[in-house]
A and B are shown apart, each in its own frame.
Chain A
Amino acid sequence: MSAPSSGGASRDGYGKGLLRIASDPRVVVLEADLGKSTKSCHFRTEFPDRTFSMGIAEQNMMLVAAGMASSGKIPFASTFAIFTERAFEQVRNGIARPEITVHICGSHGGIHTGTDGSSAQSIEDLAIYRTIPGMAVITPSDDLSAEELTVQLVNHDGATYMRTARNKTPRIYNEESVAQLRIGKGSLIKEGEDVCIISCGVMVIEALNAAEILAAEGISASVVDMHTLKPLDSELIGQQIESCGCLVTAEDHSVIGGLGGAVSEYLATNVSAPLEMVGVRDTFGQSGSSSDLMRTMGLTVDDIVQAALRSISRK
């Protein structure tokens, strides 16, 4: 697939997606003083009557969203990924437990967030929301897929968490290929035979770059964009184990409980295959540019290449 070189950040896609579903009068947007950052601000500009400022008060925001949903609305509540976590118990007890459909979007996910420092770099959001019964967990890889998956949420029954990224990344999809995406179905971007790199979020482009480097060394790698961590597309993982025989996961998130954790759970109870995990190793980030931080934390294309070689050697 030829990837257009330029794109926005996935958070831009969320903002555009909200505008596309605004024709449904049930859609409402809740903000916690970070609308300019999450990009819900565009919806506010166009539809101020359906945008609700909750101030810097995330716990209240989550339950207000639940109350609106119980009265027939489709709420999209967004703030930084890390600040959604402040309201974790509200999401657990007030939204997911009574099976209320609220769509939560946490922007600025991961180390990639950069200069704001470790307080803003959520490295555990995907893990914690994955533990909540019935909750779907989504982390798109580019602006177009974030937009498409946001649009699909309007017809999704059940609570969801979507993580978006602060910074721009190259596009993975084009307008035609993005329409094929479905919540809960992994996207096989490149087919290979020697190793499968299962990636998500901002690491998908790094996985594609790693596959190119490996190809130059005669190694054929599959690349999967596992934009939905839950429900996990175990059928696709099973197929890739059959065709490639070993796996690498790549995520801008702790390997504990995230994509690496999810794939490990699948392997442990289904089929045995070597797995190497690229992700945050039980440590916090710091301030710095995205590229400097990703290098320091072991989240580069080279880290994926080395992990692929290790995984292949363990076959």
Chain B
Amino acid sequence: MRNGGMSLDLQALHDLARRCRVNIVRMTHAANSGHPGGSLSAIDLLAALYGTRMKIDPNDPNWYDRDRFIMSKGHASPAVYSILHEIGYLSESDLMSFRELGSVCQGHVDMKWTDGVDFSAGSLGMGLSFGLGCALAARMDDSERNVWVMLGDGEIQEGEVWEAFMAADFHALGNLNVIIDRNRIQNDDFVHLQMEVGDVAAKLSSFGWSVKEIDGHSMKEIVDALQWAETHNSGPAAIVANTVKGKGVSFMENNPSFHGKAPNDEELALALEELG
């Protein structure tokens, strides 16, 4: 994967995302806690990112010149762990120990605990700033490594995110790419009922970013947008991905109650049946 992703085709990416969805519901069920909704909305994006772009090395997780992925919405950790499992960083038993004492699968992604995790998240609004620091360092090193940051749409209510949007344009960071998981639901309720974030693409454009808005569940659109972002080097690039919270499990889809609630036994069985 040092050359960029696993070169998967669209069908293989779909299969990868489906396997990850299965593990997202299994690990949250096993932990009886966690955040399935925002993991399921993000997983097509992550499957495509790791499947086609990320220059990393599972045999050398700390390879200095690897691409960095910053999961700023760190509660969607099951999405990250399920991908890391698929590419060999985490075992089945690691996944099933999610949220247990001493587990490498901490409740929120944590670089101190897990190989393959580049940022310690859990407090929203900090990841883009961290990614900006990674991108500045890469430029100082004259390295071609890329920095990818995933933000939630509720998360961009945090002021620090806008400090970072401004700074990324000011420092003209062409190696910094952001994916916004626009699933329209946050912890308490729908985003438009908590604090509507509005036309995110227009706001980012006005902050000097180059932006593409896509269907975050169309693998073709995702793959194309990721390629565009990586090759867009004149400044920071953002992909606003319109997604469905809980995507792939009918009773979780667009349902605010599955932001931070695990499936019970019956719901797990139903979900696994739907996911095939």
14 new A-B contacts, CB < 8 A, other than A59-B126, A70-B137, A98-B112, are A53-B170, A54-B167, A55-B170, A57-B160, A57-B166, A59-B125, A60-B163, A61-B129, A62-B129, A63-B126, A64-B133, A68-B133, A70-B118, A71-B137
Q: Is the CB of B120 within 8 A of A97?
A: yes
Q: Which of A49, A50, A60, A62 neighbours the largest number of chain B CB atoms within 10 Å of its CB?
A: A60
Which of A62, A67, A73 is within 8 Å of B131, CB to CB? A67
In the complex, chain B residues whose CB is within 8 Å of the CB of A60: 129, 132, 160, 163-164, 167
In the complex, chain A residues whose CB is within 8 Å of the CB of B112: 97-99
In the complex, chain A residues whose CB is within 8 Å of the CB of B130: 63-64, 66-67, 70, 94
Interface flags for A61-94 (1: CB within 8 Å of B; 0: not) read 1111111111111010000000000000110011
Q: How far is the CB of A214 from chain B (nearest CB, A)?
A: 49
Q: Which of B68, B130, B136 neighbours the largest number of chain A CB atoms within 10 Å of its CB?
A: B130
Q: Is the CB of A67 within 8 A of B129?
A: yes
**A62→B128 CA distance, assembly (Å):** 12
**A57→B160 CA distance, assembly (Å):** 8
In the complex, chain A residues whose CB is within 8 Å of the CB of B135: 67
**A25→B90 CA distance, assembly (Å):** 35
Q: How far is the CB of B109 from chain A (nearest CB, A)?
A: 11
Q: Is the CB of A72 within 8 A of B137?
A: yes
In the complex, chain A residues whose CB is within 8 Å of the CB of B136: 52, 64, 67-68
In the complex, chain A residues whose CB is within 8 Å of the CB of B118: 70
In the complex, chain B residues whose CB is within 8 Å of the CB of A89: 123
Give the size range of B's interface with the partner. Answer: 20 to 34
Interface flags for A185-207 (1: CB within 8 Å of B; 0: not) read 00000000000000000000000
Main secondary structure, interface of B, reads helix
Q: Is the CB of B134 within 8 A of A70?
A: yes
User: Nearest CB to that of A64 among chain B residues?
Assistant: B133
In the complex, chain B residues whose CB is within 8 Å of the CB of A71: 68, 133-134, 137-138, 141
Give the size range of A's interface with the partner. Answer: 20 to 34
Q: Is the CB of A59 within 8 A of B131?
A: no
In the complex, chain A residues whose CB is within 8 Å of the CB of B137: 67-68, 70-73
Q: Is the CB of A67 within 8 A of B133?
A: yes
**A28→B140 CA distance, assembly (Å):** 10
Query: Which residues of chain A from 95 to 112 have a CB within 8 Å of any chain B CB?
Result: 97-99
Q: Is the CB of B129 within 8 A of A55?
A: no
In the complex, chain B residues whose CB is within 8 Å of the CB of A72: 64, 137, 141
Contact of B192 with A by CB under 8 A: no
**A66→B163 CA distance, assembly (Å):** 15
User: Nearest CB to that of B123 among chain A residues?
Assistant: A93
Q: Is the CB of A90 within 8 A of B134?
A: no
CB pairs A–B below 8 angstroms (24 shown): A52-B171, A53-B170, A55-B167, A57-B167, A59-B129, A59-B163, A60-B160, A61-B129, A63-B126, A63-B132, A64-B132, A64-B164, A65-B133, A67-B133, A67-B135, A70-B111, A71-B133, A71-B137, A72-B137, A73-B140, A90-B126, A94-B120, A98-B119, A98-B120
Interface flags for B162-202 (1: CB within 8 Å of A; 0: not) read 01101100110000000000000000000000000000000
Q: Is the CB of A98 within 8 A of B163?
A: no
Query: Which residues of chain B from 135 to 158 have a CB within 8 Å of any chain A CB?
Result: 135-138, 140-141
Q: How far is the CB of A276 from chain B (nearest CB, A)?
A: 40
User: Nearest CB to that of A68 among chain B residues?
Assistant: B133
In the complex, chain B residues whose CB is within 8 Å of the CB of A90: 126, 129, 160
User: Nearest CB to that of A49 among chain B residues?
Assistant: B140
